[in-house]
Amino acid sequence: MKTFNIAVIPGDGIGPEVVAEGVKVLKAIERMDPGLSFSFTEFPWGCEYYLEHGRMMAEDGIEQLKAFDAIYLGAVGYPGVPDHISLWDLLLTIRKEFDQYVNLRPVTLLDPELTPLKWKSREDIDFLVIRENSEGEYAGAGDRLFKGKPEEVVLQTGVFSRKGTERIIRYAYEEARRSKRTLTSVSKANALNYSMVFWDEVFEEVGKEYPDVRTYSYLVDAASLYFVTEPERFEIVVTSNLFGDILTDIGAAIAGGMGLAAGANINPEREYPSMFEPVHGSAPDIAGKGIANPLAAIWSVSQMLDFFDEPEWGGTVLRTIETILQERGSVTADLGGTATTGETGDRFVELLQSNAVQADGG
Ligand code: NAD
Ligand code: IPM
Ligand code: MN
């Protein structure tokens, strides 16, 4: 019997609403598979915790999380706590402390009706964004001098180390080689004359070891255009932390919206736990209404199962997302349905059971 210990951080806004459905799915899998067991430990960290304790997580929070096989996170950030405090003290700290330097964000259209690009088919929108997740524009390096004075100066420095740049680019080449897909680097060397010139050089250097991988290199402005006009150009995309953040919201927009966009923050060496979370935030505009779409959080569960070396379950969960999308009545309003968050999760579990039986019985 394989047991996985999962730290659950529901967080703020719709975070707890969608995470509850992901946990429901994992519990259903546990019931169906006698070889698998999950234990869940919930941490009440987030903005409410901050208002009570003056911090986003326990002082030894990182120590507490170290022992887990994975972290399952909803979303963080809520009006009342400045975003740069809530996000830095929790989400970005976890990504950095656990050296989760790979952020995997699939952009895969599971149902052609869900893209606003009406002239595009499923085959056209099917790629993986590999976002650098530990440094770059998010290094947190900078200063604010002469605050409030006329001579005020603010610095926010991008940090691109050779180690950090090489390892993400190498990871992307390996993934392209393994899956026999093309690799596109997205950068901006025409304007960012230090960091992105370096990025492009490293992309070319590392590429010499992968003559079998077909590559492309685009400027981020043009890449944003192609995400919308010609997404079929992309199979694997590797890019910096900030560009990856922005591009994956565009990716979400063309593949069904924020309610369907999943992400995994991976420490490939498995020295520390990896973290699975939807791309979306806490969505204060819809929080507490029971209408948040849980499918992004459930897709992140599929990524977690792949990471646990349970690709059959990972695949079954993904297939079940396709299945439920065929029943518009069973999904939430953002996808044109009428179901609540909880109803979507309940129906998902029913469909998962029948998909699992089919996979088993042939
Ligand atoms: P957001 O992703 O929370 O919301 C953007 C839009 O998408 C909103 O209209 C929202 O209603 C919609 N949306 C998002 N998730 C949805 C879902 N599951 N189902 C249906 N609709 C959904 O982005 P924002 O409004 O810019 O940010 C809100 C807060 O979340 C901020 O504090 C921000 O810093 C934080 N944030 C956190 C994370 C994270 O924890 N990973 C990610 C992004 C933003
Ligand atoms: C994301 C989010 C975070 C990021 C924010 C909340 C710090 O937007 O995961 O996409 O920029 O990485
Ligand atoms: Mn984002």
- Percent of the chain, pLDDT > 70? 99
Predicted local distance difference test score (pLDDT) of residue 287: 98
Which pLDDT does position 362 carry in this prediction? 52
Could you read off the pLDDT of 38-53 as tens digits, one per residue? 999 999 999 999 999 9
pLDDT score recorded for residue 361 = 65
Do residues 297 and 22 make contact, with C-beta atoms less than 8 angstroms apart?
yes
pLDDT digits 0-9 by tens, 77-86: 999 999 999 9
Closest residue to atom 5 of ligand 2, CA basis:
87
Residue 2 has pLDDT above 80, yes or no: yes
Cβ neighbours around 91 below 10 Å, total: 21
The residues pairing with 71 across neighbouring beta strands, listed in sequence order, are 7, 275
Tell me the CA–centroid distance for residue 245 and ligand 2, in Å: 6
Task: Tell me the pLDDT band of 26, cut-offs 50, 70 and 90.
Answer: very high
Q: Which tokens in the block code for residue 233? A: 């150009």
331 forms bridges with which residues in the sheet?
Answer: none
Whether the CB-CB separation of 7 and 19 falls below 8 Å is answered with: no
Q: HEC string of the chain? A: CEEEEEEEEEECCCHHHHHHHHHHHHHHHHHHCCCEEEEEEECCCCHHHHHHHCCCCCCCHHHHHHCCCEEEEEECCCCCCCHHHHHHHHHHHHHHHCCCCEEEEEEECCCHHHCCCCCCCHHHCEEEEEEECCCEEEEEEEEEECCCCCCCEEEEEEECCHHHHHHHHHHHHHHHHHHCCCEEEEECCCCCCCHHHHHHHHHHHHHCCCCCCCEEEEEHHHHHHHHHHCHHHCCEEEECHHHHHHHHHHHHHHCCCHHHCEEEEECCCCCCCEEEEECCCCCCCCCCCCCCCCHHHHHHHHHHHHHCCCHHHHHHHHHHHHHHHCCHHHCCHHHCCCCCHHHHHHHHHHHHHHHHHHHHHC
Identified catalytic residue from 188, 218, 306, 334: 188
Q: Is 259 in the pocket of ligand 1 (CB under 6 A)?
A: yes
Pocket of ligand 2, beta carbon within 6 A:
87, 91-92, 245, 279, 281
Check residue 33 and give its pLDDT.
97
- What tens digit of pLDDT does each residue of 177-234 get? 999 999 999 999 999 999 999 999 999 999 999 999 999 999 999 999 999 999 999 9
- Nearest listed ligand to the Cα of residue 282: 1
pLDDT over 80 (residue 360): no
* Torsion (CA) 65, 311, 313, 317 in degrees, nearest 10: 90
Asked whether 75 lines ligand 1 (CB < 6 A), one says yes
What is the overall mean pLDDT for the chain?
Answer: 97
Per-residue pLDDT of 84-112, as tens digits, reads: 999 999 999 999 999 999 999 999 999 99
**Which is nearest to 116 in space by CA: 223, 279, 253, 260?**
253
- Could you give the domains of the chain? 1-106+257-362 (3.40.718.10), 116-133+161-255 (3.40.50)
For residues 338-346, average pLDDT? 98
% of the chain surpassing 90 pLDDT: 98
